[in-house]
Structure 1
């Protein structure tokens, strides 16, 4: 299993717990570094350094995410082998993945139905649910329909807080998932909401 380098050692448990609940944990998911851009080619995404700030752009789907201060692109496969976007804020112990899939590949229904399917999959990775899922007031992200929930659970003996957002964009559903240790959920709540708000469409 790949090692955790630098100051990444202290946040390994919550990263692993987050990935387990998402069904993503594997031996190749923990190669963390303070310098993600220098760890190898990011084949799933790239950083566009523009005058409006650093934009994390997917090579796979027509989506992008503005990287707020403290956030960095994660090397390919760090958080998910098939992520359309992946980023982390190591100082604040927050992680983010974006996963898109075509609406034809999922069960028939609307965005509410699909959000509930995703939530059930996420909670299936919990050994214990710490609190009932809480719907936020978010109904749109970058003008696209969205359903957002706060979810908390124990995973691999770690208490983790998730902000899970399902977004309907064109022919695809996107999951934008941010997680942090549960004891940091209040301190990180605003930053987690803010980074999700930076998700938007792009041109491939």
Structure 2
């Protein structure tokens, strides 16, 4: 039985991180053309955390977007979840992970938000060894006022069943993928929290 303990022990966490690299690795490669700047320690740093009395907010250094970090969530080390991510966060206690990938609308094939969402989903599922069940569209049509398309997708990656909540958001001149995932056996328990953290994605304050 692959429960939460099985994921966290004996390299389980490491395997869960590999899930993103395998299933999402081709997403945005080549077409994103993102660059990263070196921080004072000579390491790549694409995000920062703005702290306030009320909450912490993860802010991208590459795109005009941010994400309010709910309780239990914190910034993930840059590049640990995806090499091209604009934002990376995790909730290790609940085995949930999140990345945001932005792409210029001029860099993608002509089409609308629905077309782009389906394109991203095909790339995601192309990284699965096996698709588990059918993808299910949620009722979400907007994320903080911006048009969005959201799907629940399940698949086996690196011999691990994983549940993804994939949201495509059209914001300004960019399409953004907000991708949250968790071990499939925690899908039901984490469903509400996954949807809630996706709703925290928003445009950065100017």
TM over 0.5: yes
User: Which of 37, 43, 46 does residue 44 from structure 1 map onto?
Assistant: 46
| Partner Cα distance (2:15, 2:67) in 1 | 26
SS at match of 2:111: coil
| Partner Cα distance (1:8, 1:148) in 2 | 33
* TM-superposed deviation, 1:15: 2.0
| Partner Cα distance (2:10, 2:100) in 1 | 21
Which residue is equivalent to 2:64? 62
SS at match of 2:167: strand
**Which of structure 1's runs of 4+ aligned residues deviate more than 3 A?**
6-10, 39-42
| Partner Cα distance (1:174, 1:20) in 2 | 19
Q: 161-170 or 40-49, which moves further after superposition?
A: 40-49
SS at match of 1:91: helix
Which residue is equivalent to 1:202? 204
State whether residues 166 and 173 of structure 1, in contact with CA within 8 Å, keep that contact through their aligned partners in structure 2: yes
Which residue is equivalent to 2:38? none
State whether residues 17 and 80 of structure 2, in contact with CA within 8 Å, keep that contact through their aligned partners in structure 1: no
* TM-superposed deviation, 1:43: 1.4
| Partner Cα distance (2:189, 2:16) in 1 | 16
TM-score by length of 2: 0.85
Q: Could you list the runs of 5+ residues in structure 1 that have no partner in the other structure?
A: 1-5, 25-38
Q: Give the paired residue count.
A: 185
Deviations 1:66-98 (A, max 9, x none): 001111101111111121100011111111000
State whether residues 141 and 200 of structure 1, in contact with CA within 8 Å, keep that contact through their aligned partners in structure 2: yes
Which residue is equivalent to 1:163? 165
Task: Give the direction of change, closer, same or farther, for the CA distance of 1:57–1:8 in structure 2 (3 Å limit).
Answer: farther
State whether residues 44 and 58 of structure 1, in contact with CA within 8 Å, keep that contact through their aligned partners in structure 2: yes
